[in-house]
Amino acid sequence: MSSQKTVIELRDIAKHYMMGSEGFYALNQIDLDIHLNDYIAIVGSSGSGKSTLMNLLGCLDYPSDGEYRLKGTNVATLDENSLADIRNREIGFIFQNFNLLPRASALQNVMQPLVYRGMPLAERKKRALDALTMVGLKDRVGHVPNQLSGGQRQRVAIARALVTKPAILLADEPTGNLDSSTTIEIMALFDQLHRDGQTLIIVTHEQEIADRCRRVITLRDGRLIDDFMNPLSEEQEGANG
């Protein structure tokens, strides 16, 4: 991994909270490098710090201590407007509950992140159509979410995350609301995105999802306790190839 380009660097990251007069660390002494085209699962039990780490990686929150560099920029020092711009340009979010606009078509949902860039309408439409085609929904561009299956809605959400051409895709329990066959379809799409060069980080509590990822990071009590390349994923990729 050392020869790969580093996209994210975390150095001695901590996140401290106060509850009344008592303080606790949701994250403590986290050192982590994430490289271009990494395919990572972040795992751990409830309260391990997975969600806190996801929020920090996604620039949704600031660390209490430490340094977070995204493509060389120390995001821990940015103001809110700069942080919002980083989120829009460098991070594609995929959520368990899809977070789609209910009255907007698939095309309109995917176009939404590009509105904040002041991009011309014709270019927004083209980028959104390209993204929907990439996830296999070219024939569903005019459908609103309640006309789509759960798997199709998640594909729209993935297209929305891809449309900005982000440095990383950050997925929070992306298959949590899907049945087992649809989960396999969505993970196959993630596998393909990884083969195409996308950097993916998936926060999950499901072992079968972690087994699909090339690298597994385990948190416990706010600390990073394990970080390894996944031999199961290597075998599976070889079988798929």
Q: Tens of pLDDT along the chain (241 residues)?
A: 445 799 999 999 999 998 888 888 999 999 999 999 999 999 999 889 999 999 999 999 999 999 999 999 999 888 999 998 899 899 999 998 999 999 999 999 999 999 888 889 999 999 999 999 999 999 999 999 999 999 999 999 999 999 999 999 999 999 988 999 999 999 999 999 999 999 999 999 999 999 999 999 999 999 999 999 988 665 455 555 5
For residues 5 and 180, the answer to whether their CB atoms sit within 8 Å is no
Full DSSP string of 81-103: HHHHHHHHHHEEEEETT----TT
- Produce one character per residue of 200-239: b if its CB has 16 or more CB atoms within 10 Å, e if not: bbbbbeeeebbbbbbbbbbbeebebeeeeebeebeeebee
CA-CA distance, 204 to 172, in Å (whole number)?
Answer: 7
The Cβ of residue 115 has, within 10 Å, a number of other Cβ atoms equal to: 12
CA-CA distance, 7 to 87, in Å (whole number)?
Answer: 14
Q: For position 77, what pLDDT does the model report?
A: 86
pTM: 0.90
Domain ranges of the chain: 36-61+81-240
Q: For position 233, what pLDDT does the model report?
A: 61
> Cα–Cα distances in Å, from 199 out to 6, 38, 105, 170, 204?
11, 5, 27, 9, 16
CATH superfamily placement of domain 36-61+81-240: P-loop containing nucleotide triphosphate hydrolases (3.40.50.300)
Q: For position 18, what pLDDT does the model report?
A: 85
Q: For position 2, what pLDDT does the model report?
A: 43
Measured at the CA of 56, the angle between CA 22 and CA 196, to 5 degrees, comes to: 155
Residues in the chain: 241
